[in-house]
Structure 1
Amino acid sequence: MLRIVLPAMLLLAAAPAVAQSDFRACLSGLRGSVTAKGVSTATFDAATRGLEPDMKVVEFLNDQPEFKTPIWDYLAALVDEERVADGKAMLRQWSSALAAAEQRFGVDRYTIVAVWGVESDFGKAIGKRPLVQSLATLSCYGRRQAYFRTEFAATMTILERGDVDPGHLTGSWAGAFGHTQFMPSTFLRLAVDNDGDGRRDVVDSVPDALGSTANYLARSGWTKGGTWGFEVRLPPGFNASLVGRGKKRGFDQWAKLGVRRADGRAMPEGGAAGLIAPAGLSGPAFLVTRNFDAIYAYNAAESYALAIAHLSDRLRGGGPFVTPWPTNDRGLSRAERRELQALLLRKGYDIGAPDGAIGTKTRQAIADVQRQLGAEQDGRASLSVLTALRGGR
């Protein structure tokens, strides 16, 4: 994870002076290196004319929130009934584009749409920061400048080739953009034209974004027709040392160890899988295959890959996990989070509009409510807090 280099207040205080004295010189250096790679001076100058640094992205680079999200909270928000319903609507709306992606790359439509849902809520949360400004700033200030200079140069190449409308090239603070949040260098390697217009546009063309996502997964080792895995039940006294995504063994070997599918079906006759237990042996456990590893490659976190895998199953018509998470205070769906925020606003907390995103202000307000309740002040958006707020309407 990213670690802070300078104290935040010092960084904020110094940023304007640093930006005024150094940014133009840095841009000049970037201009030389980018144009040496084949980008025209006209493209570079048009993209950077009047450009000022956005020092907020350096804050984001250096920020390490102390709040850690339990996996049951993480999945409760990412795989809720709202996202499942929206995903099924997207499956119907974009069936032709998804069929083309399936045919071309061998990745099933449910997984493609699940990535789309988790990455940008089906295009509703693509990101609003101009990539050129963000990546130019990160190329000149803070840590990992070499990495961000590579992404900045890739962004200039995208503009040179004309794949994406320059006015629509916005994304996250770190430069991920489009419906399924590609980094610019990833775009150059793996984006495809799935709508036949001669351009690779993951921002304004949903078919291109879906096809590009399928290509990413295929290139990451996706096996056509295979499963990502499934939930399992572990026998009493199961050896915890066998847990690990990389500790793969045949399904028949898992069966001999007493591992059973949670849905009661028989184990596959061939193939291998590793075992993950994100909340320990007392919570849900899963056998995961190379297809899970391909999802993991998209964003190297098992909780992230599990969210996509589970959402893909829900889009196929599957249900929630059989084994409950080891908590007596479950996480909240996005609808419940919005309700919680609305109740906090009603109590006078200044947290902004209810959007279901639990940021610093919302957590601080929750912690204050917990203080009044005599509960642990962890700022967690949980059912117990929502229930307490409902009772105090």
Structure 2
Amino acid sequence: MSISRRGFTIGLAALGLSACDSAGRGQVFASRSDGALPDDLRPQSNGAYDAWVAAFKPRARAQGISDSTLRRGFAGAGYLPGVVKRDRNQTEFSRTLEDYLAIAASEERVSKGRAAFARHRDTLRQIEARYGVAAEVVTAVWGLESFYGERRGNVPVISATSTLAFDGRRGAFFEKQLIAALKILERGDVSASGLTGSWAGAMGHTQFIPTSYQAFAVDFNGDGRRDIWSENPADSLASTAAYLAKSGWQSGQKWGGEMGTPAAGSATPVSVLQPDAGGPRFAVFRNFQAIKRYNNSDNYAIGVGHLSDRIAGGGPIQAKFGPDRYGLTIDDRKALQQRLTARGFDTDGTDGVIGPNSRKAIAAYQQSVGLSATGDPSRALLDRLS
């Protein structure tokens, strides 16, 4: 079985796209707006966890982890009940491509991406020259994974991975991540206090899990450390390019593009995809599969590819998406969100994506006017709010 960079579903990302609220804010990182961690992501007393850690340490020593590293790694570490809660309560659902792109290639993400590219142009071009991966694609991965470094996560990785290994639902997998995280400390790439990430242990600007960091991270700036946590994103961006290069990226070739537009190019595609019935069709090439090695999802790979084209100056998707299962277009859904928010039922964004916050607002409005609080959008609801 092949394992992608993530190797498991943590609810994405970047964005956290498979677990985003309606405004596209990822639920992966779980810190408050002031940057502080909520109480359930702070270590709490748990005797069974302490016993597990004591039994784990000999296994770690057998894999080359020194006592010094174990002391540093577990100093201040502990059981995080919020990690277990988030792991068990991940919402499993699939977004339409239209919803996905409304978040992944929003105008805000495009404008921030162009600004980030401009700030780091020299570094990105150097990375492209070394690894052969288009600079705009690397930037797009950065944008989807951490909103260009704004949402890297500040949960201690040793606490997070040891909690999940102890919990046991995916114990063997997370024990491997814990060992890999300790090896990062052993090598000296980052301090114990700096080894932070998402609640599930994904780290840095482009959200590498520890085992993928061990396999693919690079020291691009030559300071002797593979520092994906630094404010300087160079090592993270180069590590992403290295990953894609080793995943089969072909230099000078496109990822694909919307059929019937210049973005698709003139070469014969490997395949043609139409993720949403009646929606746009995409010609995809071999580099599309390299992106899927980073996250094994057609929507993710189209999101990265399309965002990279927008960062490079390209325009939005040209073909129209049809109405959703409720008979509403994206413009209808945006209008519904705007009208709800104007009535005091805040949807926390008006991007046309009906996520948990929008459903909560709909249900609250329905209840306020004596309707059944289903939380479902509808044409009748939109008309009632007009």
For this structure pair, what is the TM-score category when the shorter chain's length is used for normalisation?
0.7 to 0.9
CA displacement at 1:71 relative to structure 2: 2.3
**Are residues 1:85 and 2:111 paired?**
yes
Q: How does 1:125-140 map to 2 (within 5 A)?
A: 125-140=151-166
Q: Select between 178-187 and 363-372 the one with higher mean Cα deviation.
A: 363-372
Percent identity of equivalent pairs: 37
Please name the residue that 1:35 is paired with: 61
Question: For the aligned residues, what is the CA RMSD?
Answer: 3.4
**Are residues 1:166 and 2:165 paired?**
no
Q: 1:223 to 1:19 in 2, by over 3 A?
A: same
Query: 1:221 is matched by which residue type in structure 2?
Result: G
Contact 2:74 2:158 in 1 (8 A): yes
Gaps of 5+ in 2: 1-7, 11-43
Please name the residue that 2:317 is paired with: 321
**Are residues 1:72 and 2:98 paired?**
yes
CA displacement at 1:263 relative to structure 2: 4.0
Alpha-carbon displacement from aligned partner over 1:102-151 (angstroms, at most 9, x marks no partner): 11100010000000001110011111211111101001013110000000
Please name the residue that 2:291 is paired with: 295
Please name the residue that 1:62 is paired with: 88
**Secondary structure of the residue that 2:248 maps to in structure 1?**
coil
Contact 1:97 1:195 in 2 (8 A): no
**Secondary structure of the residue that 1:166 maps to in structure 2?**
coil
**Are residues 1:278 and 2:275 paired?**
yes
Query: 1:157 is matched by which residue type in structure 2?
Result: K
**Are residues 1:150 and 2:147 paired?**
no
Please name the residue that 1:25 is paired with: 51
CA displacement at 1:375 relative to structure 2: 9.7
**Secondary structure of the residue that 2:207 maps to in structure 1?**
coil
For residues 46 and 355 of structure 1, the distance between their equivalents in structure 2, rounded to whole angstroms, comes to 45
Contact 1:191 1:209 in 2 (8 A): yes
Q: Pick from 122, 132, 145: which aligns with 1:96?
A: 122
Contact 1:44 1:156 in 2 (8 A): yes
CA displacement at 1:36 relative to structure 2: 1.8
Please name the residue that 1:214 is paired with: 241
Query: 1:320 is matched by which residue type in structure 2?
Result: P
Contact 1:114 1:311 in 2 (8 A): yes
Q: Pick from 308, 311, 315: which aligns with 2:307?
A: 311
**Secondary structure of the residue that 1:75 maps to in structure 2?**
helix
**Secondary structure of the residue that 2:149 maps to in structure 1?**
coil
Please name the residue that 2:146 is paired with: 120
Please name the residue that 1:106 is paired with: 132
Please name the residue that 1:46 is paired with: 72
Question: Alignment length, in residue pairs?
Answer: 338
Q: 1:291 to 1:114 in 2, by over 3 A?
A: same
Higher Rg of the two aligned structures: 1
**Secondary structure of the residue that 1:132 maps to in structure 2?**
helix
Q: How does 1:368-383 map to 2 (within 5 A)?
A: 368-369=364-365, 372=369, 377-378=374-375
Query: 1:47 is matched by which residue type in structure 2?
Result: G
Q: Name the TM-score, length of structure 1 as normaliser.
A: 0.76
For residues 273 and 225 of structure 1, the distance between their equivalents in structure 2, rounded to whole angstroms, comes to 16
Query: 1:167 is matched by which residue type in structure 2?
Result: S
Q: 1:373 to 1:45 in 2, by over 3 A?
A: same
Query: 2:185 is matched by which residue type in structure 1?
Result: L
**Secondary structure of the residue that 1:167 maps to in structure 2?**
coil
Q: 1:66 to 1:182 in 2, by over 3 A?
A: closer
* Structure with more relative contact order (C-alpha pairs < 8 Å, separation 6 or more): 2
